[in-house]
Structures are given as structure tokens and as C-alpha cells.
Amino acid sequence: MTIIRNFVRINFITNPPKQAVSTLLIARRTYSKNGTFDYDLAVIGGGSGGLACAKEAVNNGAKVAVLDYVTPSPQGSKWGLGGTCVNVGCIPKKLMHQAALLGEAIHEATSYGWEIPAVDKVKINWSTLTESVQNHIKSVNWVTRVDLRDKKIDYINGLGEFKDPHTIVATLKNGSTKELTAKNVVIAVGGRPHYPDIPGAVEYCISSDDIFSLSHPPGKTLVVGAGYIGLECAGFLNSLGYPVTVLVRSVPLRGFDQQMARMVTNEMEQKGVHFEYKCVPLSVEKLESGQLKARWFNNETQKQHEDVFDTVLMATGRYALTKQLRLDLAGVSCLSESGKLVAATEQSNVPHVYAVGDVLEGRPELTPVAIHAGRLLARRMFAGGQQQMDYDNVATTVFTPLEYGCVGLSEETAVQRFGTENIEVYHAYYKPTEFFIPQRNIRNCYLKAVALRDAPQRILGLHFVGPVAGEVIQGFAAAIKCGITMEQLSNTVGIHPTVAEEFTRLNITKRSGKDPNPASCCS
């Protein structure tokens, strides 16, 4: 590599700059650090995990290419570089959630003395909202591309697939192909929304791929699915003034603590969201008016129901984008039934093929998880790193109208692992100061700590439903990683008046049967 650098430096002096640059490109194209492949690392997928891995690899001397291509949704939605989180996930979702909170704040402001003319006529302008959200997303897309250019990462806007274990073929937008070789490959393609196999689902329904750039107000909306994506969308749409019905097949927020999930849905119901439980969709039909007639079946009552909506949003899970990769040609066979890669340490059954992010089986489908795993993987590949990704005790938040933040085990999982007699659950309802004026509903402001019963009562999980839950739970996530106990938590002095301090005041256990309601804000 030193010889190549010296040759290019001499050539730059003795030849015109254009020829020197051409020579440099040829040298870079022909030789990677190992001297055999075009690249030391090729990353298939330009989302958070893939980009983090690519950037860290370059920081450690590797030559890297990133392939990324977005196939339009069934409704034609497409977006730029950055993956699900930036374009159709965390970022636009949080902005929509913030818009909903601001709408509530406008109405509450009058109780604090703000004189707002015709507050009863305040409404959202959907076009302005989506335009603002999309403008921010496009700015992030641009910054991401510039960052790749500055780091000398080759960005290929093409759909990648394997030709053999070290060769990738990218199909570009114009239909042409580009072939490259890489010593290592990281699969970071993430996933896309799943559509149920019912008439009209693909033809007429939207998903989270479409809602944040929808060209018209959604109006009366049916959300099919009650996972975190479904509930978050239902929550902000309802708060923005659009009537929402949610179809729940089994339980809301499957995989989360179910007591906390009920708190979330209770709050949403009290805010006007209508839930249809134990229901599965049957069909969606487009009427002459342009509206959609949806039919569903209640497995509990064994009755069929129907209603007419302006929008039907499918939130029935996501599938991994592995089928198009031709993994068999690379020898990768460690796939689950769902099409995700089974890889304990991000390494597939083919030693030089890795995966990070949502494409991994049994891993939290969260952007920070993919980012951290991608960085650690790059350090192991190119910097002699030894640290593996720790997928336990990852904090997360569901951005429903009343947010739910958690870290660690749910109460159900803790009981399953350790037994009821070995678990102590501390819990409390609380009164956020922000809810005093005006008098807002506090029935669902609740938190709990799930701990081992024996001293020193190591905490296994913390759960919080209330304002700014994400901000609250983040700091406690570090404490959980450090093995915090109930004694340490109770000896922590809280910041008053905050909602986060409620964790430091937990002293009533479920086992005791005592009333978990506070006597006052300072009790």
C-alpha cells in the first residue's frame, strides 16, 4: 500500500491533476487493505446499523462500500439514504408525536392564563405538518450522503445481491448492474411492513412506510395491529384530531409488560381511541366514494363486523429483506423461519458474512442497538476489538400519548425465570405536577420496579408510564447495567418536582397489599 501511495504522489507532481486523480481511483478500485478484493468491507443496507459499521470500519483503516436501495412501498412511497429510523421510523414518528403533544398543550395553556382566541377551533394542518417532517428528513438524507463522501466511503445506490461468497452485484436505478468484491460483508437490510393475506390489503391500505408522507389528511382511520408501531400511529393520529379504531388480534404490545400495556391502552381509550379486541381483518374494499370498507372477525364473539374508513393502516409486523439477497450463493444458511439471520455474535455460518440490526433473529429491533452492534463489529473486524454486543437490558420507549418507558425484564418474564416467591415488585401511582393545572387524568400514571426478593434485591426491570418516559428511563438504564439494587435506588435522592424522582420513592410492594396511591406530591 505504501508503494501505491508513493506512486500516486509522484504521478500527481509529474502529470496533470486529472490524470493523477484517475490513477488514484484505479489504485483504490484495484487494491484494498488486503490486496485481493475491491473492498475490505461491503455493507448491504444504508440504515443506522450499516452506516455505523461502515463509518467505524473506515475510522480503523478499512476501504468500504455501502449499497442501499429503497424499493417503493405498494402505495409508491420511497425515500433516501438513512434507513427506516430516519425516513419512516423513529424520527418522523417522534415529530408527529411532538405535534400531537403541542396540540394538547395549546388547549391546556388557557388554564395557565394564556389567552388564546378561539381555542376550540384550533386544528392541525396536515400538509404543513408532513411538509415540515419531510423537509427535516431530506436534510438528514443529504447530511448522511455528505458524511459518506467525506469519509471516502463509496456509496452505491443499488439493490445488492450475492453472486458468490465474496462478490456482490448491485442493480442500479436505471437497470444496469455494478459488480464488486469484498473480503467481508455485513448484511444490514432491515425489514419492511408485512401485509396480511386478505383481499384489498396491498391494493388499498397504507403502512408506516406511507403515513409520514401521506399527501392528504388521513381522516377516520383503522389501524390493524396493536404493537408499538400501531399504537404510536393510532395515538398521534387521534391526538391530531383524526378518529381512530385499532384492531387487536391477541394482546397489545406483545413482548412488553402486560400490566403496563393495559395502562397505555386505557389512557388511549380515555382519549378517544376505539379498540376492537380479539379481532382479525377479513377484507378491505374500496367504495365509489373513495372510502374503504373494512371487515373483521371477532374470535371471541364469533361475529363479523364492518365499518367505513378514510384510511386503513396495516401495522401487523415486519419481515426481513433477506430473500432478495441470494444468500444461498454466498453459502449463508443460518436463516430462521421468518427469514432473519440467526447469528449469536453477528457472524453467520459463513465466517466473513455478518449481520446487524433488525435482520437478526431474536434481537431488539431498535436503532441504537443496531448502531452499537455495528460499531463493535467493525472494531472486531479491523481494530482487534474483543467486545461483543450485549443485547440484555436494552431500554426502550413506546411513544404513545402517555409514554411507556422500560428497561430490563417484564414482571411476567421475571416470574417465569425466577418464580413468584423469588420476585418482589415495588409499585406506585403518582401525580405529575404538570397534570395539576388543568386537572388531567392521572389514573394511568404508574411505575414499578421488578426485583429479586432476597437482599440486596437486585433490580431486574424498571417500568414507567407517564410524561417524557423516554427521558426518564434512559438514566436508569445505565443503573440497571451496573446492577443497581432496591437499597441503592431508595437511597438515591430525587430531583423535586420531577416524574423521574418517583422511582426513588418506591416503597410499597404488591405482596404487601397496601394502597400504592400517593397521599400528596411530597409524601
C-alpha cell at position 243: 378518529
Q: Is 107 a catalytic residue?
A: no
Amino acid identity, position 303: K
Phi/psi at 32 (nearest 5 deg)?
-100, -175
- Nearest-Å Rg of the Cα atoms of the chain is 26
Asked whether the beta carbons of 32 and 183 are under 8 A apart, the reply is yes
| DSSP secondary structure letter of residue 505 | G
Cα torsion 433, 434, 435, 439: sign: positive
Cα torsion 316, 320, 326, 331: sign: negative
Q: Where are any strands of DSSP class E within 85-201?
A: 154-156, 158-164, 167-172, 177-187, 191-193
C-alpha cell at position 512: 404487601
Phi/psi at 67 (nearest 5 deg)?
-105, 130
Residues forming beta bridges with residue 43, ordered by sequence position: 66, 186
Give the C-alpha separation, 190 to 83, whole Å. 8
Asked whether the beta carbons of 223 and 233 are under 8 A apart, the reply is yes
Phi/psi at 389 (nearest 5 deg)?
-70, 130
SS3 239: helix
For 18, residues 6+ apart whose C-beta sits below 8 A from its C-beta are: none
C-alpha cell at position 509: 410492594
Inter-CA distances, 139 with 79, 127, 170, 318, 455, Å: 12, 18, 26, 26, 52
Report which of 400, 225, 254, 242 is spatially closest to residue 313, judged by C-alpha positions.
225
What's the distance, Cα to Cα, between the start and end of the chain in Å?
69
C-alpha cell at position 356: 446487524
Phi/psi at 10 (nearest 5 deg)?
-65, -40
SS3 289: coil
Count how many Cα atoms sit within 13 Å of the Cα of residue 130 in the half-sphere of its side chain.
14
Asked whether the beta carbons of 356 and 49 are under 8 A apart, the reply is yes
SS3 258: helix
Report which of 166, 189, 185, 169 is spatially closest to residue 177, judged by C-alpha positions.
169
Give the C-alpha separation, 311 to 448, whole Å. 37
> Which of 216, 274, 427, 496 is labelled catalytic?
496
Asked whether the beta carbons of 220 and 196 are under 8 A apart, the reply is no
Active site residues: 496
